[in-house]
Amino acid sequence: MNKTGPSLDWCIVRIGDDKNWWVDSISDNENWDVDDLGIIDPKQFLHINELLDSMTEFGLNSQFIDEAFFTFAIDEEKKGGLIKLVRVRDSLLKAEDMLFALPDVLDEEKGPYADFLNHVSQIRVSMLNDLIDFVEPYTIEEMEEVLAEKHNNDFLEGKRSHFSDELFSILEFVPEGFAIDTDLDEDTDKNKDEEDYSDLEAELIEVSDKEEKLLPDSDLKWDEEEEKDDTTPYEGGAPDEAP
């Protein structure tokens, strides 16, 4: 799909108290409502990409990924801790630079992002049935019911829904009372991935001087002090892994 929104050329983002990035203003304000509009930062997408990699052998179609997101690169720093991002046409999976990803939710029910969520949900359920010995095959309807209940509880508690939370809830989903057999799923062994992720993270931090200046470590949570406070290998806003 050719994402040529009327004037989707830039957006200005800010980091929230929840350590997620949110859109403050956008060039195409006719089609986008910036109220509670989140955007996935490069660190979060690095972790998302790792989870997607583990789905490849189960039939993941990478085309869904590129079609589901508008990509943005850092342009300049604004007053008040705001960052201006400019639209680029690079593939998220192939880009050499760090990119922010804005899900294409112009059509929430039938758009590219909705298709992407449906696709990865089906793949995740396929993985679960392959890696867990259920009495009866687990269904996508069962997973959607659990996730819908969690979403409703978050809403009742006044928690803002961020796209990263939505993705992690699917990509890391495991039914309550079960666990993935890491002997069968070595590619997604999180203990092993912790060291591997650090290596990938070190490469990611090697950004241009301009990007380092615009996004200090404290903004995207890349400083070592915050890494020590976080008990998980990922500190870019991912929710707790389901039991």
What is the tally of structural domains in the chain? Answer: 1
Residue type, 127: M
pLDDT: which is higher, 234 or 133: 133
Task: Flag whether pLDDT at 218 surpasses 60.
Answer: no
Q: Residue 198: its pLDDT value, please? A: 46
**In-domain check, residue 171:** yes
Rounded mean pLDDT of 76-99?
A: 87
Instruction: Please state at what angle helix 112-131 crosses helix 140-156, rounded to 10 degrees.
Output: 120
Tokens 């079609």 belong to which residue? 67
**In-domain check, residue 24:** no
Q: Residue 214: its pLDDT value, please? A: 54
Q: Residue 238: its pLDDT value, please? A: 46
Lowest mean pLDDT of 30-44, 75-89, 124-138, 213-227, name the range: 213-227
Domain range for 155: 41-68+104-229
* 84: nearest Cα among 34, 14, 141, 36: 14
pLDDT: which is higher, 219 or 150: 150
Q: Residue 120: its pLDDT value, please? A: 96
How do residues 94-146 score in pLDDT, each as one tens digit?
767 789 999 999 888 889 999 999 999 999 999 999 999 999 999 999 999 99
Per-chain mean pLDDT for the chain: 79
How do residues 43-65 score in pLDDT, each as one tens digit?
999 999 999 998 999 999 988 99
Percent of the chain with pLDDT over 90: 51
Rounded mean pLDDT of 76-89?
A: 93
Beta strands in the chain (DSSP E): 10-15, 21-26, 38-39, 69-77, 83-88, 100-103
Task: Flag whether pLDDT at 78 surpasses 70.
Answer: yes
Torsions phi, psi for 74 (to 5 deg): -70, 135
- Helix residue spans in 108-139 (DSSP H): 112-131
How do residues 150-160 score in pLDDT, each as one tens digit?
888 887 877 88
Other beta carbons within 10 angstroms of residue 80's beta carbon come to: 8
Percent of the chain with pLDDT over 70: 71
**In-domain check, residue 114:** yes
Q: Residue 213: its pLDDT value, please? A: 52
**In-domain check, residue 81:** no
Give this prediction's pTM: 0.71
**In-domain check, residue 156:** yes
Whole-number Cα distances in Å, 54 to 29, 58, 74, 105, 239: 37, 8, 29, 25, 19
Euclidean distance between CA atoms 129 and 60, whole angstroms: 15
How do residues 165-196 score in pLDDT, each as one tens digit?
999 999 999 999 888 754 444 444 444 344 44
**In-domain check, residue 209:** yes
